Structure 1
Amino acid sequence: MKVETIAQRVKDTFQYLHNHAEISWEEVKTTNYISSLLENSGCDITTFKDCTGVMGKYGNFNKGLPVVAVRADIDALWQEVNGKFQANHSCGHDAHMAMVLGLLWRLEQNEGLKDKVAIKLIFQPAEEKGAGALKMVEKEVVDDVDYLFGIHLRPEQETKMGRATPVIVHGAAKMYNVELKGHDAHGARPHQNQNAIEIGAQIVNMINKIHLDPRVPHSVKMTNFQAGGKNANIIPGNASFSLDLRAQNNELMEELETKVNRIFDAIRNLYDVEIGISNTDQIAAAKTNEEAIVIMKKSIGEILGEENIDQPLVTPGGDDFHFYTIKRPSLKATMLGLGCDLKPGLHHPHMTFNDQALMHGVNILYRAVLNTYGL
């Protein structure tokens, strides 16, 4: 298959995945679609009875070769697009899947290479929930892996088209879903309950007054709040809300989380209401590996030119990719940050990027695999 043919196939695959987005833990059709493509390319595939996602093995796993894994996240966000809530790939996971499949097709293209490599292609669910990587670790998909590479599209403010960074130094993140429980009261009798909306406003004011080490980026903010119903003469006593916590390192995240929980304790005592955390999603800050970074840096230079290698990218954004190295410290891992003229930004419902960058990602990953083996 010619490189030009692969390029068109990657674009077509991206478009299909973009048009058939599925949210976290519901990526059933996506899993089936990728599984069929992996099988058609001669991979041994592994799927899972209790979750979505698929892993493909390509190469020779009987010669004692180092095992190189490449991971793509497969879930979409649930967000409002043009007035309608839907699954939407506004974080670029459709592109990540297409590029990792393009890597496989490039490997296929090189006759005789299959006996010289041992590659695992991990198509991981539920990155947006911060839980998919932990599930794949539980499934032992990286237990025999020596090197792990990931890839992520970057906004134009971070990395320009035609450029790339060999490592994304993500921060830590935690997302709380919280239930506030009291009781309703008549609008004429505000003394008979605690207004859940006023309590929510108090929590917003208090979290805005959290001050930690200013040298380390961090933030906490309310991202969702629901209280009350259709009747305007009822003072709501119940509410649900979400908090998003960010910190550039795991240690500061612990401090931030402690402050937030102390605020909850203060609100409970002040207003005599129940505050319960119904769900917590979390992402750990990056643990970097110099050997993997050097491999990726060399690979970027070979494809885009050394003058287009960016410095390590430190970003407050998060990715559950880093749970792999936290749970398996022997892994040599890095995530490629790819410039692609992405705008207005990640998670924007109308995010776009230059699809010419898809083959930049494919070719850099291809070189990273070969460079790992010294080929």
Structure 2
Amino acid sequence: MEPHHLKKELITASRNLQNEIVAMRRYLHQHPELLFQEHDTQAYIMKNLQKWGYKPEKTAGTGVITQISGEKGGPIIALRADMDALAIHEENELEFKSLNPGVMHACGHDAHMACLLSAAQIIAKFRNHLHGTVKIIFQPGEEGGGGAKKIVTEGHLDNVDQVFGIHMWSPIYTGVIGLNPGLLMASADMFRITIKGKGGHAAFPYLSIDPTIVVHEIYEAFQKLITREINPLHTALITTPEFHGSKAGNIIPSTAILSGTLRTFDLKDQKNLLSRMREISELYAKAWRCESSFELLGVSYPPVVNSKSLSEKIKPILQDIGAVTEVEPSMGGEDFAFYQQKTDGVFLFLGIQNPKKKIIYPHHHPKFDVDEDVLWKGCAIYALLAFLHSL
């Protein structure tokens, strides 16, 4: 089959699966599971893959990996979708609303899985036209768990030539494909600072050692780091939204806790800021006769940086699906970055914002939703990238 005919067939096949993709997305949306608890999701994915002739295996505990090779040799391409949901109670009134109280797919991972599952069906159907091998990765634990790092550690990326991923993206209008050559998403570090003093009555602060004043000083000092120690042409932020102190207005606590996140686009800035944040926490605590600890929580994510040459190669292929545009880099983090540290990769955004349908809420919001009319495009993106070297 001629490349232009194959491309047309892949796009048509994706359109024809729209209803099936929606049904899969709705099932997955109703049955969300938190990071590394995706057991039912794993079983659902494996059952569908087996139905289409795949031999899926478990990876990273609750993930799934499989592969398919064409009759003609060629590179190995990996396609990835994340699986985990968030600890959020859904506020949408949908017929397919989450059945797990306090757990919700509020970041689009249900849609990512549905699109990749459908693409797997198409890849199997057109296998005879495939040049090379496609690895299909359903990855657990993206939301802070570094599931991608586990998959890399298991060696699944060692022989991969190119890797691709998609994220449903609420900041851009529905159906628009966001493709950035180079920098796309920031590094992500979560931290917790614990300050220990001496508790007491709020009316007699001189008899206590108040840890809350130290936390206040640290909060302000961190913002000065951004304005005074980072090149103003670089981008970095420190957000500290979580604070725990006393539970009453007349009690000075023995311990105060400040938690937050550091985001940067530059690995050197990331390293320097973490060092200075630790130092400031220790010295401010010491100045006020307190003890301190500075902990990094979970897995630190490096920045997502797309291969420029690969981005340029796939852009004209994707334009047959819809508009492809560069988007503003995001301070959000993504563990897809671990794959890109092993091989060339591109992470894409697919717009889902649709004010007419009141699909306007950001990621991680209890009313987050996906414009299901674009799901066939997500499937088509995966399918076209699988056959990149056949087109």
Matched, 1:35 2:46: yes
Contact map agreement 2:76 2:133 (CA 8 A) in 1:
yes
Give me the CA root mean square deviation.
2.5
Percent sequence identity over aligned pairs: 26
Q: Does the 8 Å contact 1:340/1:357 carry over to 2?
A: yes
In the other structure, the counterpart of 1:105 is: 121
Q: Say if 2:79 is the partner of 1:70.
A: yes
Q: Who is 1:301 aligned against?
A: 319
Residues 72 and 132 in structure 2, CA contact (< 8 A), matched pair in contact too: no
Q: How do 1:111-130 residues align onto structure 2 when only pairs under 5 Å count? A: 112-113=128-129, 116-129=131-144
Alpha-carbon shift at residue 312 of structure 1 (Å) = 5.3
Residue in 1 that maps onto 2:176: 163
Aligned partner of 2:206 in structure 1 is: 191
Deviations 1:296-342 (A, max 9, x none): 312221211xxx2202542222211111222x1xx121011111216
The alignment status of 1:23 with 2:39, answered yes or no, reads no
Q: Cα offset for 1:234? A: 2.7
Alpha-carbon distance between aligned partners in 2 of 1:263 and 1:113, rounded to the nearest angstrom: 59
Alpha carbons of structure 1 residues 64 and 300: separation in structure 2 relative to 1, 3 Å:
closer
SS at match of 2:263: strand
Q: Which residue does 1:47 correspond to in 2?
A: 58
In the alignment, which residue of structure 2 is the partner of 1:334?
346
Partner secondary structure for residue 197 of structure 1:
helix
Distance 1:130 1:297, change over 3 A: farther
Q: How many residues align?
A: 362
Residue deviations 1:162-193, cap 9 Å, x none? 32123361111211133333342233432232
Query: Please, which of 253, 259, 264 is the counterpart of residue 247 of structure 1?
Result: 264
Q: Is the 8 A contact 2:246 2:253 kept in 1?
A: yes
The SS at the match of 1:303 is coil
> What is the letter of the counterpart of residue 116 of structure 2?
V
Say if 1:256 and 1:301 are closer, same or farther in 2 by CA, change over 3 A: same
| C-alpha contact 2:162 2:345 (8 A) present in aligned 1 | yes
Give me the whole-angstrom Cα distance separating, in 2, the residues matched to 1:251 and 1:368: 33
Within-5 A mapping of 1:169-188: 169-188=184-203
Compute the displacement of 1:111 (Å). Answer: 6.0
Q: Is the 8 A contact 1:55 1:121 kept in 2?
A: yes
Q: Secondary structure of the residue that 2:286 maps to in structure 1?
A: helix
Q: Name the residue aligned to 1:360.
A: 377
Distance 1:315 1:232, change over 3 A: closer
Contact 2:35 2:145 in 1 (8 A): no
Look up the match of 1:147.
Answer: 162
- Report how far residue 223 of structure 1 moved: 2.3
Counterpart CA distance in 2 for 1:347 and 1:374 is: 38
Query: Of 199, 215, 220, which aligns to 2:233?
Result: 215
Deviation, 1:348, is 1.8
CA distance change for structure 1 residues 296 and 194 in 2, over 3 Å: closer, same or farther? Answer: farther
Against the structure 1 CA distance between its residues 38 and 208, is the aligned structure 2 distance closer, same or farther, given a 3 Å change threshold? same
8 Å Cα contact 1:343-1:353 kept in structure 2: no
Cα deviation, 1:9-36, whole Å, max 9, x if unaligned, reads 1111111111111122222222222122
Q: Distance in 1 between matches of 2:215 and 2:101?
A: 25
Matches of residues 77-96 of structure 1 in structure 2 within 5 Å? Answer: 77-81=86-90, 86-96=102-112
Structure 2 CA distance for partners of 1:21 and 1:67, relative to 1, 3 Å? same
Contact persistence 2:196–2:254 (CA under 8 A): yes
Q: Secondary structure at the match of 2:103?
A: strand
Distance 1:110 1:64, change over 3 A: closer
Whether the aligned pair in 2 keeps the contact of 1:44 and 1:58 (CA below 8 Å) is no
**1:149, 1:203 → 2: CA distance?**
40
- When normalised by structure 2's length, the TM-score is 0.85
Q: Distance in 2 between matches of 1:23 and 1:275?
A: 31
Indicate the SS of the match to 1:86.
coil
* 8 Å contact from structure 1 (residues 162, 357) kept in 2: yes
State the distance in 1 between where 2:235 and 2:15 align.
43
CA distance in 2, matches of 1:299, 1:261: 47
Q: Distance in 1 between matches of 2:14 and 2:308?
A: 31
Q: What are structure 1's unaligned runs of at least 5 residues? A: none
SS in 1 for 2:234: coil
CA shift at 1:274, angstroms? 2.4
Matched, 1:319 2:319: no
For 1:236, the equivalent position in structure 2 comes to 253
Letter in 1 for 2:82: D
> SS at the partner of 1:107?
helix
Q: 1:81 to 1:203 in 2, by over 3 A?
A: farther
Equivalent position SS for 1:347 = coil
Retained in 2: the 8 A contact 1:197–1:239? yes
